[in-house]
Chains A and B, each alone.
Chain A
């Protein structure tokens, strides 16, 4: 029992102390937490429910824009804002936090409602059709955002400058924000997977028709699953806009080719359909990527490509799947080491 508390303790201390121990990489650590959130939320649909969505990035981008626009419009007129570079130095801590909190709250509402509406429409599709449709959603969202002048269109939108002098270092602020987000997502999801919701979406993955025949309201559960993804992605997007400082429609907000694909990769790498898989996958992927960028300069994309191929070929079930097959005891599976003969009780 005590052993267990020590492990938790070590983990909590590490998570809380990481940016203090390594202040130089606190933004990277914040990104790591974001990646974990990405992988966890993708896995709700992709892993637990068997619906491969490439459109989750939509909620991330919408959350980012909604938050930024509210932060902008609450305290400034558009012209003022444009000439003040995200109100460089003109915004104090209270205003910034008020804007951020209201912005995030609004983005949650918008994203969840959007997920419910989109879900009702396209969650009737299955398999490849669903995947392709969601892929289109992401691309369409980027194009639409690039055409709306109110949110900066193709010229992008600068988010309010973080008031360092009031709120301390931005890196710490966002690290702890993303840490809490990832931890809450993890806890909420593991709680959900243990209950009826988890069983229902697993049933949908295993055989949707049978699940429906058993009386499960599949469409309701599917939409719910997407709304939960949207909830966390709205919170992730809203803060990410502030962390990056500049929102470009197709490359920061609706970045399907990077974040959109990575969230799938990370979940698969770690082992989809498990709760720790996405966490481990995100950590390994993010670390490898940063290392490639540092040590294999110029070849980082080739190395990343090689890594992805290696993942698919050698770990089709992900790291968790590999561990489960190789060392099942480690994951708490009971293995009977007795030979079949010795099992015969005389």
Chain B
């Protein structure tokens, strides 16, 4: 009897659910009047929130600039662009759900990537399933590009390239000192997530190529707040190279603890220096760290929307009050690439846009963009910079190097 009575409540709940969830449905569509709407699930909260903010600011700046420059012209008609955002809270389950929501509920036909490889990995199967093109600038894991995805395009260099250059640099230095590169010892400590594990794979490949010995190979937990265990081993084993990757949290953590524990290692190569602002946080303590970067403002790239890389750098700062890390730049470039493809396709047909994306050959302030069959951008190299006197100095690869690397790192 009790159960029967409760049925009264249930249809009511269904009705509320239906009305309120379905309500925002018609408000958004892929092209609303003269506005093209892109969709993005970005981390506003959670552990990737710092980089999520860089991603969003990068997208927003692109939208603002492209609209100011007359918008997008499709089939003779000019359109403005806008982005529908959701917060994926840095969790893949949520990201996949939101991608469904963007496509199914909001009718979004053009998806911009989230921050990070794990989240991109969660969204890519969804966009692929609905055959919706996604251009992303923050999912670097190479495992995204060996899966035969047809609708995924990434403007950035894949993650195994991030720190591989550091290994080559160490080999060169060893030769210079009259040592055999195979005598170089490498310590690796990377977070246990798709992106950082790929960094590791790239480093291991290059170390093996030189016959170097990997003396420490640690996985760091995702709740990254201590790596003294690894650093104690580093102190004892004295490797020539220490490679650390764990997004912004990892960058801050290693620089802080290496100073606290006075760990002396000839070469410290890490990722996410700029995004984590290690110079601002540690000043002296961050000196001589090698940082992998997708893009630097000193590069000679330019385009019509933003001018030179340096112009972008300064414009971004004047709007958002901080200098853009590469995460912001590659996000901006993603929008540019998407818009370029839509213009070349001359229609809003997703298949036509996908084909146009595949045929992209674009120069941006962020660098050249040209996609491989797999959808990653092989036209743009990674750069390795060293922190010197509170500034980033490009040291590798040699064609971008403004100064030779300081090696070994002076003792702390």
Contact = CB atoms under 8 A, between A and B. Distances in A.
A27 B5 CA distance: 29
11 contacts: A8-B7, A27-B101, A83-B146, A146-B222, A158-B147, A251-B92, A258-B94, A276-B3, A287-B13, A294-B21, A331-B6
Interface stretch (B62-70, B166-174, B188-196, B340-348): B188-196
A332 B18 contact: no
A155 B141 contact: yes
Given A88-B148, A287-B17, A24 B25 contact: yes
A153 B118 CA distance: 12
Contacts of A4: 4
B4 A291 contact: no
B125 A156 contact: no
Contacts of B13: 280, 283-284, 287
B97 A31 contact: yes
- SS class of chain B's interface: helix, strand, loop or mixed? helix
Contacts of A255: 91, 93
A22 B21 contact: yes
B20 A244 contact: no
Contacts of A154: 191-194, 196-197, 219, 222
A86 interface: yes
Interface string A1-18: 000100110110010001
A78 interface: no
Nearest to A14: B14
A18 B147 contact: no
B77 interface: no
Interface residues of A, number: 65
A143 interface: yes
Contact of B125 (A147, A161, A297): A161
A290 interface: yes
A246 B147 contact: no
A303 to B, nearest CB: 12
Interface of A: 4, 7-8, 10-11, 14, 18, 21-28, 31-32, 82-86, 88, 143, 146-147, 153-156, 158, 161-162, 164, 170-171, 190, 244-246, 248, 250-252, 255, 258, 275-276, 279-280, 283-284, 287, 290-291, 293-294, 297-298, 300-301, 330-333
A7 B101 contact: no
Contacts of B96: 244-246
A329 B36 CA distance: 55
A103 to B, nearest CB: 18
Nearest to B1: A332
A26 B2 CA distance: 30
Interface in B239-253: none
A32 B4 CA distance: 22
A301 B45 contact: yes
A69 B83 CA distance: 37
B16 interface: yes
Given A27-B97, A245-B96, A252-B93, 19 more contacts: A14-B14, A31-B97, A82-B143, A84-B148, A85-B149, A86-B125, A153-B192, A154-B194, A154-B196, A155-B197, A244-B97, A245-B125, A246-B92, A248-B91, A276-B3, A280-B6, A297-B85, A298-B87, A332-B2
A301 to B, nearest CB: 6
A334 B93 CA distance: 46
Contacts of B9: 280
A244 B92 CA distance: 8
Of B1, B44, B97, the most chain A CB neighbours within 10 A belong to B97
B259 interface: no
B310 interface: no
Contact of B87 (A156, A300, A330): A300
A293 B147 contact: no
